[in-house]
Chain A
Amino acid sequence: MTNSDRSSLTPKLAWLAFVDMLPLCLAVLPWGVLTGALAVQAGFSVAQSQALSLLVFAGAAQLSAITFFAAGTAYGAIFASTFVISARHLLYSLTFRQHIAQESWLTRVALAFLLTDEMFAVSEAHTKRSGAFSVRYALVSGLFFYIAWNVATAIGIALATLGQNADSLGLDSLGLEFAIVATFIAMTFGELRRFPVLVAIVISGSVAVFSKPFFSDSYIIFAAVSGMIAAYFCDRSDVSTGVEVKPEQVL
């Protein structure tokens, strides 16, 4: 898994990145619209509302900050919440680290800027499918998602400026977030036959569901690390060669 595909960007690769990211772009549209509209309603100017999506570019952190801002919460508390919510990106940058060590400073800066849940998801799926991490694929899919998120935010800002109330749009009842469920399952369940993967999925899924009411900011990273540790201890293959020691224990 340390292979890196450093070949140049072909139209075929760009198209693949686009198609793979498309369902996630559609799924995030209502949340982008909502984020834009709520920012305006919370008292951010039009430029500031768009700047949140252009610069912060983190849906959950933005929505949480907008709610705090509207309630007049101190900035220190908003910064702390932003750090906790976006801490899972540390896990993504650590996972990608082995692939991007040879890349230029500018490429690494751009890749970090475009690093989201969605870009990490499609890139990991592409790496598993093609056998090598492609930084071009990651950049194109990340950029496509960045554009979709900002267009959705702009639509939300326009609607709110025209006097539409975000709650009256009925966006959260559309069920577009099912595309997230479908895409993430499609990317992970193919490997369910491997026992440690089964353990990672069952443990992280249950921990997430049961800890969300108590740790609304941090349940994703908490659940993910629990699942990873459980899977690590269930992996019976030789750590240096990756060869299964007891194949009969694998589903």
Chain B
Amino acid sequence: MYWDREFETMPWEKLRELQLERLKTTVERVYNNVPFYRKVMDERGIKPSDIRTLDDLRMLPFTVKQDLRDNYPFDMFAVPMEEVVRVHASSGTTGKPTVVGYTKNDIRTWSQLMARSLTMAGATRGDVVQNAYGYGLFTGGMGVHYGAELVGATVIPISGGNTDRQLMIMQDFKATILTCTPSYALFLAEEGEKKGIDFKKLPLKAGVFGAEPWSERMRGQLEAKLDIKAHDIYGLSEIIGPGVSMECSAQQGMHIFEDHFLAEIIDPDTGEPLPPGRQGELVITSLTKEAFPIIRYRTRDITMLMDDPCPCGRTHIRMRRVTGRTDDMLIIRGVNVFPSQVESVLLEFGETEPHYLLVVDRKGNLDDLEIWVELSEQWFSDKVRQLEDIEQRLKGRIASVLGISAKIKLVEPRTIPRSEGKAKRVVDRREI
């Protein structure tokens, strides 16, 4: 079942032609409208007209998250703000988020891509989509929402959290498709089991799970417990949000929507391109974005491309499940977290050389974040109240910067291990 047969099954050569044409337009657009891109291209003596083949893309430098930080909030936009109808944001590496913008056309494109994605999971007009992704600056909620409406399904915009209500509504509204992070889906399944809910008797048939890494083991659990087919979806706000790639019914990797995105895999150390079948870092160039076009964005996600034909008939190349990161970003309850964000908060609190450790665990299928902070001389007091006050203030500030709550644990000085050169900032005990 296709949403857009023409583009989804476009012959390989035709797809490349389309990509080249769109790449030229995109490079032209960024060169003329985004000072950042004009500068990096001028520095290298590259003009948009130098892009004659898809391989010429490699003349252009990578775009990294720091570039987005340097152009905070709107300087990477390629259109005037009057044409921007929406913004979303994701975690930056410090206190400031990474901001992206959409024109009306971008929202239309994104909705189309999400309609494609949901169709791959079997969504039709008759379906009821329980959308438990968070609504807000995070792209998950609204991305799924617009796509599901375009398909003509009934959307339950329930957003994340409140498990009892999720389970009640899933039963009463007869949800057929669940969209959320895989860890939350597993949590819902187990809470449901405790309440004696028999998911086999519910009309739920598919799940579209993303925004965090998961495994085949988790897929097995989700499919067995919820009696559904569980699909992996991939995306990131810097590119568009969810709907960059999606798993079809074959469940053998996610099709990257190549009519809108150009994917490369590179060696993260050398930046050299790697062929399909080799594991490396995913780099994406947007081909149709208007407000926030992006060239060779380093996603930091580790995966590989698979170009063998897919039984589903789609011609778009597939990417394997994301298996790791080339930076220290963590995904906790679907939220991107950088240890440097914690550091920036500690610096705000007057720490000159903060020592801290993020300890992540999965408790009952939910991620749990504890932040250990070495108690510095200046904070220590003989009064419990004063230490508890510091914990509370840190907790509040960290929740507002990270977007998720964390437990703060003050620890004795010099007890967080220092490794040679780079401090170890993360202990991840989750088994996924």
Specify whether A and B are partners.
no
Could you tell me which B residues sit within 8 Å of A by CB distance? none
Could you tell me which A residues sit within 8 Å of B by CB distance? none
